[in-house]
Amino acid sequence: MRWHFLLTPAADGAYNMALDEALMRRAAGCGNGAVFRVYGWSGPTLSLGRNQRARGCYKLADAQGMGVGIVRRPTGGRALLHYREITYSVTMPCSSPAEARALYAFINDVLLGALRRLGVAATRATQPSAIPPGLRPCFDHPSEHEIVVGRKKLVGSAQWRHGGALLQHGSILIRDDQALIERLLREPTGPVPLAATIADALGREPSLEEVSALLRDALASATKRDPEPMEFGDELQGDIDRLRNAYSDDAWTWRR
């Protein structure tokens, strides 16, 4: 597999989701290429899972007043707040559920490698629990194999497999701001447990660039070769522009 590594500037929710899906379409088209992307957000953003019930559930005026954007992801799972965190995505060809499971394990190996290089004692969760659908936040509790510090979730990840390709992306918490989600619900669901954070584990806040460099090193170690840089061509940019309009559309954001 030919790997590319991409560090992109902070952007809004629609652009970030559009670029992830455009890279997934590229992976489906080229058949032998993978991209590991690391990115941030231009402002606090609530991202909703692909099939999560959300219409009428959130106080939109409050979100606007707090400067919180809202976007619906192409992947499943529950709501999470992108604010003081680092987001990664991986896009690559994938033809079966078994391959998707293997890739999930491989990507977690890369994430754990980078976190351990940073000095974070992260592990995989071993408790056999599944996260039920609902309005509780993504970081409410870890499910089996997710990345934790102690028993608290540090990384929330989700996958989408479509058209012969896979997108996996997720959030690595620097600080825990997930309780804000509860404040935006019209009908609160109860106290939100504390999540694990890199700042708590290290006593400091590493930069996006520092974590990105360690993720690149961990990917190189896992694949036994340095990932290549990547340039945006006209076809990719065209996909990004079209998909950004789709992810900005309320018909998608509030589809259910």
Q: Are 21 and 252 in contact (CB under 8 A)?
A: no
State the pTM of this model. 0.93
* Residue 10 binned pLDDT confidence (cut-offs 50, 70, 90): very high
Question: What are the pLDDT digits (tens) for 193-220?
Answer: 899 999 999 999 999 999 999 999 999 9
Question: What are the pLDDT digits (tens) for 60-118?
Answer: 999 999 999 999 999 998 999 999 999 999 999 998 999 999 999 999 999 999 999 99
pLDDT above 80: residue 32: no
How far is CA 232 from its chain centroid?
21
CA–CA gap between residue 97 and residue 92 (Å, rounded): 14
Q: For residue 112, what is the domain's CATH number? A: 3.30.930.10
Q: What strands lie across the sheet with 123-124, from one edge to the other?
A: 123-124, 147-149, 152-153
- Across the range 223-248, mean pLDDT stands at 93
pLDDT above 80: residue 141: no
Number of domains the chain contains = 1
Q: Look up the domain containing 173 and give its range.
A: 3-253
pLDDT above 70: residue 131: no
Average predicted confidence (pLDDT) for the chain: 92
- Residue 138 annotated in active site: yes
User: Exactly one of 30, 57, 94, 138 is catalytic; which is it?
Assistant: 138
DSSP assignment of 64-128, as one string? HHTT-EEEE-SS-S--EEESSEEEEEEEEE--SHHHHHHHHHHHHHHHHHHHHHHT---EE--S-
